[in-house]
Structure 1
Amino acid sequence: MNHLKFIPMSQKHAKTIATWTYPEPYSLYNMDDDEETIEELTEGSYYAALDEEEQLIGFICIGEAARVPGGYEAGIYNNEQQIDIGLGMRPDLTGNGQGGLFLKESLSFIRNLSNHSSLQLVVATFNERAMNGL
């Protein structure tokens, strides 16, 4: 995973991502592979991340799509100057030290896309694997 390419989410990639399953305790990141999920993934805030061989390795999302439940009540979405970002890697690629590079490539793409310098990524407190990758 040396250089990633980000493209607007396609139906094909959305359908694949919606079937990804993560082991406990990460199963809360599993999606329903129903029409509503596919529509959300393809509405314009999501991008598929492809490796050099054009293989789907993850996704990113920007704005409201990246906001997590409970975040509003916790007051973490009060700064309108920040752009919220979210990301997910293919389950078989998680936990093996590639998250830092994935995040770096994602941030570079988002900064070029949005022209914002203030980005916010919210990570669940139990997700030490993600925080250690940062």
Structure 2
Amino acid sequence: MHFCFEPMNAAEAEKLTRWHYQPPYQMYNITSNETLIRSFVDPENAYYSILDNGELVGFCCFGKEAQVPGGNYGKDSLDIGLGVRPDLTSQGRGQMYIADVLNFARSKFNPILFRITVAAFNERALKAWKKAGFQPVQLFQALDNKELFIILVRHISVDRKLW
């Protein structure tokens, strides 16, 4: 793996709130508040910092925190959320982030199916996840902001490493 994964701590959670994504990705901007920081560091929410030589370059989460209200989420899948620091996006490293997150998730949770939810307008994310072998299975409208989202899944083989 290229990156190191550590449970999210308060200092790293606070850094996420200072990340600023330019339009049309501004929906990913996070506003700091005490409740949100507590949520990021709560082990039950499964948030992890993605570090490159000790520097925060992204974050991921697993389970319910990676779901978008309004989607139809069945059993037997591990939901994944992934965010990359804004200044590191669009540099052709998407497959490296995805591969490391999936390998980390496989070793930590041992799922049989991965699931990711992506905003329908986010063509670069959709392209990256499809290139990683994910297939779209559902289009839905989020309950809160009515934004369209796509759920994609990927089955994994239990006898081989992903990449």
Under a length normalisation based on structure 1, what TM-score does the superposition of the two structures give?
0.90
Question: Could you tell me which amino acid in structure 1 is paired with residue 81 of structure 2?
Answer: G
Report which of the two has the higher share of strand: 2
Q: Which ranges in structure 2 are unaligned for 5 or more consecutive residues?
A: 130-163
SS in 2 for 1:50: strand
* Bigger Rg, which one: 2
The answer to whether the 8 Å contact 1:85/1:120 transfers is: yes
Matched, 1:64 2:64: yes
SS in 1 for 2:119: coil
> Which is bigger in relative contact order (C-alpha 8 A, separation at least 6)?
1
Q: Which ranges in structure 1 are unaligned for 5 or more consecutive residues?
A: none
Alignment partners' CA distance in 1, 2:102 and 2:19: 23
Under a length normalisation based on structure 2, what TM-score does the superposition of the two structures give?
0.75
The root-mean-square deviation of aligned C-alpha atoms, in Å, is 1.1
Which of the residues 105, 110, 121 maps onto 2:105?
A: 110
Per-residue deviation, 1:117: 2.3
The answer to whether the 8 Å contact 2:58/2:84 transfers is: yes
Counterpart residue number, 2:51: 50
The answer to whether the 8 Å contact 1:18/1:37 transfers is: no
- Structure 1 residue runs of 4 or more that deviate by more than 3 Å after TM superposition: none
The answer to whether the 8 Å contact 2:76/2:112 transfers is: no
Question: Could you tell me which amino acid in structure 2 is paired with residue 49 of structure 1?
Answer: I
Identical positions, percent: 40
Per-residue deviation, 1:132: 2.0
Alignment partners' CA distance in 2, 1:128 and 1:69: 21
Give the paired residue count.
Answer: 127
Matched, 1:122 2:117: yes
